Every structure is written in C-alpha cells, then in structure tokens.
Structure 1
C-alpha cells in the first residue's frame, strides 16, 4: 500500500506528469486540488476493490484481478473529475505516459513481492522447525490437510501421530510414544486432535503436557471430548477448528494495536517522567545506601524466555534477592525503598522493558525464574500465562492477587485471573486495568510492601 502511494505521487509530483495545461495564475490551486483528489480517489477505490486484502491469499491471480479493477477505476475517476471539476485543458500525452508508468511499476513491485514471498516460503519450508503443527490421529480432514500442499505449508503442518504403529502414507511421524518424546525434545507450537478413537485418559495426558509446554490445542469439529471443558471456534485459512483456549491476542491486528499502545505510552513515560525522575531517585538511593540505582532480576517472559526486569533498587544487596519475594516488614527493604514499593515507583523503569518489547504495560506479572521452576511443577496451567508478554500491571494485581504468595491456593487464584485476562483481552480492558492500577496506588494497597 505504501509502495503504491509512493508510485502514484512520485510520477505526478517529481516527474511533473500533470494531467492539465496550466498557466502561472491557475497552477497552484489546480495542482493542489488534483493532488488531493488523486490520493483520495485511490483510497476510496482500494477500500471498495480490496487489492491489499487479497495479498494474504496464496493465489496471486486474485490479487492482480483486484489491482486491475482498481487501476481502471482510477483512470476513469481521473477523467471524470478533470472534465467536471477543473476548467482546464487536459494534457492527454502526459496522462497516458503517467498511467503507463504507474501501471508498469505497480505490476513490477507485485511480481518482485510475490517472487520474494515464494523464495522466503521455500527457505522456511526447508527448516523442520517451520512446520511446528502436528496432528494426532487420522480422519478425512487430517488426510485433506496433509494432502493439500499449499494448506499444509500455510498452516505449518509437519505430519501426524497415530495410536497404532501402522505407518500411513501421509507424513507419518510415529506413534503416541514418539509424540511424547518429540514434545520434550523438538519445537511443536500446535496440536490438532483428529481421531475420535483416542482414549480419554491419553487425551488428558497429552493436553496436560502440551499446556505445560505452552502448546496450543485444537480439535476438529465434532471431536468427542469437547464436552470435557470450554472450547472456542477458530477459523484458520478458512478451515474451522475448535480451540481449547481463546486467545484474542493471536489476531495480528490486535497484536499491532497492543504493541503500538505499549510503544507510545512507554515512550511518553520515558521522555516526560523517567528523564527527570531517574536522576532524583538515583541521588536519594546513593545518599541512603550508596548502592546501584537499578536492580536487574531474571524474570520469566513470553514463551518462558528469561529477560532482565528493571526496577529501582528498594532493598539492600542480599544473596536471596533471586529466591525470596518481599514480605511484610522485610528487613531487606530500605526506608526509601519502602516508600517506592508502597507507591509502585520502583516499577517505573519497567517501561524501558516495555519499549524494548520484553514486556507489555498490561499482562500477567513476570515471576522470578525460581518461582517459575517451582510452581510450574505443582500448579495446573501455570505455564499458560507465558503465552503472552508479562506486564507492569495486570488483572490479577488489580483484583487483589498482588504481592506475597502465602499458599499454593494464592498462586492458583493468581493463575486463574491471568488466564481469564488472556482469554478476555480487549484494548478497553487494558485501559480499565491501567485506571484501576492508578486508583489502587492513590488509595493505597495493603499488599504493596
């Protein structure tokens, strides 16, 4: 889309291929109006013909069909408004040259784009990790998915595992024992259940292992175990599936919206708040304890990858910093540190983590690596919280599950709230959580220490 607008305006403005004869008196007014109408016309036309939407379709002829319609409509529209709106003589020579050049370069950029896309897909297709979706069992849909090369490539389907040991002709990967081995040793991002003959206990065992590994679970419509829990309809490349966990943030447009907000908000905080607050906090910390201003701690992030979570130092240097969370009246907390923790000022440097893409403003709070290692073994669905970026604040925090963990039940309640957030995410929910966070800070939170 950006390329098309560059091409449309480049030849008109830089190439001076104007569609009219002009004199010095009329030039400025007619040129500006024509320039605006040309761009608005292309915008309206492409909204109707949708040439950019069809870029996601593998069949390139559909895209060129939409582009041809758009281009013809642009020529007709230009002729109409030049004759009806402008009282000028049309320079048909310039007009013909302009549209020939624009049409040629629009087509050329498409060919280059499709060739590049084909090359990238081929390269990715050579890497086994690219095909990270697997099927469990066989039925008519599984056979269709595996035999359709385009669909198989688009969905990244590696092959299928079956309960019996009889090797099938359609990308057979092994039996169920091989599946469990591959879940531990190879990269699998999604599992699609296709076989109704699978035993319920085996199904539950696969699901438990998959959830621990942050693997998405899908089922074909009509799968007999869908009544064991909630499920949600998901359409992938026009093929309907039932999904065990609803994920609004799996939508690329929603990911862009959330990331754009994160970048804009964090940039604002860094420029207008942290730029002067860091020197002030640094001076106070140095005067009080003469230690480092920032405390970097390894935390579990997206897909359980560790990152350095940045905080203002609120505790004296101690060997248990990465093993023990803060408790009430913790002797490790400094006087100024207690104030920062009470007001959540110590968390503000995490906007740098947000800007770097390691965190989001709103999401499940990142836990220490030691906590992740411990609770992932004893808390069901614990690892599910890592399928989204961790946040500075989150639904669990504003709903009373902040601070020290006293029992296993406390962690379970926090995980329930984190998963609820993942399943019910919306932009306005993030805004609500931000306002609730500010409200809790202003009124004072008994669990902030």
Structure 2
C-alpha cells in the first residue's frame, strides 16, 4: 500500500478534472444505465442481478417491496428525471404493501423504506406516499413497544407484530431518529419520535465511565453482550451519525451534547496515527485497552461526520487515509487491518460511504481535493464494476481483473450516484445550505420544490 503522506501531499488542481457539467452528465448517464438495467430485468422486485438478469428479494424470500424503486425515487427527482419519478411513484402507490406476512429487519426497513417513502413525499408532495410510510412505521412499532428496555428488537412481522432478535448492535437500535422524527413532524403524532429518542437515550445511558459504548446489547435485559468499542466501524456506525443528524434536524441540544461526549471519547481512546495514516482502533469500552486494528469501508463515512461535527482537521486526515487505499486498489476493499496491511475482506459491495464523505467535506470546505478523489472513485467503479445490465458487486478487488459477483444493491440507486451528482451538478432541487441526507442518502431536508 502507498503511504498516506504521498496521497495527502498530491496537489489539488481543478485542471485534473473535466468540467463540473460534463461530470454531472456522466454521473446521470451512469445512474440511468443502472436504472434501465433494473427496469428491463427486475422491475417491481427488490434488486436486480445485472449479470444473469435475475432478481433478488432483499427483505424476505418470496416477498418484494420494490426496494430499488423506493430507493431511487428521490434520486430521480433530484436529477429532474420527472417521467421516471412518475413511473416509480405510480408503481409504489399501486403495489407497495406495508402489511405483508413476513419477518423483516427493523433497521433496514427504517433506513430504506420508511426513509425512501418520506423522501419521496417531501420531493413530490404525493400524499399516498406519506400514508404508506405511516402505515409501515406503525407496523414496525411493536419492535419498540414490546421491549422492556425501550430498545427495539431486531425483527418484526409486519402482519402479526411478532418480534424476535433480542441481541442487537447499536446501529440497529439507534438509526431511526431521523426517519421517525420527520414522520412525527409531518403527521403531528409524536409517538414515532418519542420511541426513537428513548431508544437512543437508553443506549447512551449504558456508556462506560470513559464515555465509550460497546457493540451489542440484549434489549430484554439491557446488558452488554459485546463490550468492544468499535466505532466508527459497523455494526455501531450510524448510531453516532444519528445523534448528530437528529440534533440538526430537530435542534435537539440533548442529542448534540451526547454526540459531542461520545465522539470525544472515541477520539481520545481510539484514534491512532500509525505511519502517517489516521485510523480508529477497537478497544474495550471499560478500560480503553486496544483489542484490534480492523478498518471497514462502511466506517469511511466517519470522515464526513467528523467534519460536520466540528473536527475538520481529523476528518481530513481520516479521509486521506481512505483515499490512499482507494488509489491503491481502484475500488475499495470491504475491510483490512491497518497494522499488518492484510485484507480481511477483498469484496466490494458497491459501497457509498467513502463518496458520502467526499460530498460532506466538499460542502464544508469547497476544496477541489474532494471532487478529484470522488471522480477517481467514480472512474474506479466505471472501469471495473460496470456491466451490460448496470453495475455489480465485486468478489475480489485485489486481482488485476476484478472478479465480479452478480447483484446491484438497492442502495446504489439511493446513494452513490446521488452523492456524486450533488457534488458536480449544482442541482436546482437541492438546498446546498440546509440540505440533510439520511444514512441511506434520503433527502430529509432541503428539497426545493417549485
């Protein structure tokens, strides 16, 4: 792997890039390449297998929610693809069923479907989307109301309300503040926000004397089942993100103070700078003792979060460490060990977290560095993961010719291309001053409707 200092010292020159307008068109064209591939092979199903032309049920076998359509809706709107917006919203209103007899993962339904329907409503103003969103959220509430600790169970049956999954990671307990809070604001019913906030506060109350949190809790007993503090890696990543996001969306000082307290602890006990890199080690939440050196691509979002939360210098350092890895492999591996350099997981599941940070840090600073690296990210995907039917995951990014899988994750329609488009398009439908996106890239504030 190249040294972090080499990437950090590379000068940022606008001349290295095509014009913003040309890149925005390129991004839009690539999004449409994926969208048309999905429409041809898997319309109405959750996800497409773009190599074989097959389909994939994401939430429950034999049940589809049209996940990719819901994920794409606000991206289509931001890109001013209004015929496609109508096509997608019409399908959702006619076919989306929030009451199917299936056990679903609460976390995934909240960030993908509740968030997607909310963003679709905020962008289009179509009231049926909000009605469907509210019905779906009501079907999720038993995961909260049946828990003796107010921290939600992982799974719920949308038809029966039966719950399961008592051991839950932090991200799944707390990544609902934004979606449920916006839903409460739109409907005037506080029950969604109050349940979400009480769940997050219940987690924060179980922090150690160092201010650190573990990884997983038993939501029935309230006891930690894994006391490793692994932030910003999954499966805790977006718990911290939503403390910040909730504080911004709802001007909530309690969440703002908790974000600062917990972030200060992560920076004090987990931040390390080996050989010019900036990374975060895993430690015991009670003692701060080092336990591991793993870095997950999903944690690369943290550069943007740190910047938004006021730690811009560390945010830049962490982002540049990830940029070095991107420039080494062209497409980021899922996980590696920063001490040994060993790749723990050579896959790439078309992850958006790095380019999410690109957008966040560019919005904060205006620095061309972030546009340059985001464009290299796009070219890495385009050169290696583009297929006739769209884009697909990679099974191994370390080989000279990457070995490909056969899946377009639904979040590709919600995140990767949206982040890139917003960086380069000067999108008239997005308020660059106040706009806020969820962890799944859903536009929850800042839709400019005319």
Specify the structure having the higher radius of gyration (Cα): 1
TM-score range, shorter chain: under 0.3
Which structure is higher in helix share?
1
TM-score in terms of structure 2 length: 0.20
Greater RCO, 1 or 2 (C-alpha within 8 Å, sep 6+)? 2
TM-score in terms of structure 1 length: 0.20
